[in-house]
């Protein structure tokens, strides 16, 4: 593949575009993968769109728990739209050319929506904590204004950090090679192409990962530690079962999302092979988003009931 290079006066060759290798190591399966990922993408859009829709129109779901769930599902749609359409285009054309600016833009939105999901999961855990551990004050603590503020903070608070992180990474010198052994622009494979010492960049990544992955995860663990402790004190077996059922879906999503994301961004770069890195990224960018609507639908009676009411209206 021919790359576009800009020769500066200082005789340093600066890369103006990258090539995403994606699944080029299995060329005979490109069309099969295109069909598979297209179907997965459409299923993600449909599943999460249905959840967003029912949390807006169903009166029974007009409570904070489902307000947060609707926002989380919308963030999932945004998150996968950053990566999968580009991957489908590369599989269709069997080329992986991506400009320097397009790569930086993709990374910016990937980190933005990923950070939003981390914070929304934390907010959802806090909501369950208040509902189970402080039920008498739930309506007062989780009023509409507070919910809107929490959601707004989840969507916007990470943007300044992501802007700084993206600028810092793409301010590095990339003097070759220009091939990214990945199917989208992600931090670990991009840093491998940078010239010179990337220690400061890696340190910044670990700091940001701690802020947006570890700290929210610790808050979630602390919330659920208190929740479980309070549930076990309930005298009614039915009450314990109902309390656990309202938390199980969220806990399952947290384990899936945080498990893979933590491995991807906190594991030392030198210890993570490119193949394993691609597999992990594929899991949290493609397979986890398709599982989330299924998890929330099958494990939540209120959501399942709302979906059953909505589907006949859509199909008729």
pTM of this structure: 0.88
Q: What is the pLDDT of residue 267?
A: 62
Each residue of 49-74: pLDDT tens digit? 999 999 999 988 999 999 999 999 99
Each residue of 236-295: pLDDT tens digit? 777 777 777 778 888 888 888 877 776 766 665 555 566 676 777 787 788 888 888 888
Range 2-18 burial, b when 16+ CB lie within 10 A, else e? eeeeeeeeeeebebebb
The torsion angles phi and psi of 26, rounded to 5 degrees, stand at -130, 65
The mean pLDDT value of the chain amounts to 84
Owner of token pair 């599982």: 291
> Cβ atoms within 10 A of the Cβ of 93, count?
10
Q: What is the pLDDT of residue 37?
A: 93
With bands split at pLDDT 50, 70 and 90, how would you rate the model's confidence at 6?
very low
Each residue of 112-155: pLDDT tens digit? 999 999 999 999 999 999 999 998 999 999 999 999 999 999 99
Contact assessment for residue 103 and residue 198, using Cβ atoms and an 8 Å cutoff: no
> At the topology level of CATH, where does 5-315 sit?
Rhopdopsin 7-helix transmembrane proteins (1.20.1070)
User: Domain boundaries in the chain?
Assistant: 5-315
Q: What is the pLDDT of residue 98?
A: 92
Share of the chain above pLDDT 70, in %: 89
60 contact partners, CB below 8 Å, separation of at least 6: 302, 305, 306
Q: What is the pLDDT of residue 199?
A: 84
DSSP-derived secondary structure letter, 173: -
The encoded tokens of residue 14 equal 């600066």
Distances from the Cα of 258 to the Cαs of 44, 203, 209, 230, in angstroms?
19, 20, 11, 24
With bands split at pLDDT 50, 70 and 90, how would you rate the model's confidence at 14?
low
Of 28 and 48, the structure prediction assigns the larger pLDDT to: 48
177 prior amide bond cis, ω within 30: yes
Of 263 and 168, the structure prediction assigns the larger pLDDT to: 168
> Cβ atoms within 10 A of the Cβ of 148, count?
11
Contact assessment for residue 120 and residue 231, using Cβ atoms and an 8 Å cutoff: no
Average pLDDT over residues 160-182: 88
Q: Is 176 left (phi over 0), alpha (psi -120 to 50) or beta?
A: left
For the ranges 14-18, 200-204, 300-304, the lowest mean pLDDT is seen at: 14-18
């Amino acid at each position: 593949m021919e790359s576009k290079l800009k020769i500066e006066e200082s005789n340093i060759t600066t890369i103006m575009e990258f090539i995403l290798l994606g699944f080029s190591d299995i060329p005979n399966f490109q069309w099969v993968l295109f069909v598979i990922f297209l179907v997965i993408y459409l299923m993600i859009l449909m599943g999460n769109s249905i959840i967003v829709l029912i949390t807006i129109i169903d009166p029974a779901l007009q409570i904070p728990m489902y307000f947060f769930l609707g926002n989380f599902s919308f963030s999932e749609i945004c998150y996968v739209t950053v990566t999968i359409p580009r991957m489908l285009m590369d599989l269709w054309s069997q080329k992986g050319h991506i400009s320097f600016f397009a790569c930086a833009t993709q990374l910016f939105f990937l980190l933005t929506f990923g950070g939003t999901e981390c914070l929304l999961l934390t907010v959802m855990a806090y909501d369950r904590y208040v509902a189970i551990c402080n039920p008498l004050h739930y309506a007062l603590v989780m009023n509409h204004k507070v919910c809107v503020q929490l959601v707004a903070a989840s969507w916007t608070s990470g943007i300044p950090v992501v802007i700084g992180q993206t600028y810092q990474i793409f301010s590095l010198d990339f003097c070759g090679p220009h091939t990214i052994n990945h199917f989208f622009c992600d931090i670990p494979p991009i840093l491998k192409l940078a010239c010179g010492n990337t220690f400061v960049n890696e340190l910044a990544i670990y700091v940001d990962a701690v802020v947006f992955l570890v700290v929210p995860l610790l808050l979630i663990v602390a919330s659920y530690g208190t929740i479980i402790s309070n549930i076990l004190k309930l005298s009614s077996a039915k009450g314990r079962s109902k309390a656990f059922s309202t938390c199980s879906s969220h806990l399952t999503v947290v384990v899936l999302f945080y498990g893979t994301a933590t491995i991807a961004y906190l594991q030392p770069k030198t210890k993570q092979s490119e193949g394993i890195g691609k597999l992990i990224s594929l899991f949290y960018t493609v397979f986890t988003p398709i599982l989330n609507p299924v998890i929330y639908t099958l494990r939540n009676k209120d959501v399942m009931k709302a979906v059953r009411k909505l589907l006949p209206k859509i199909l008729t």
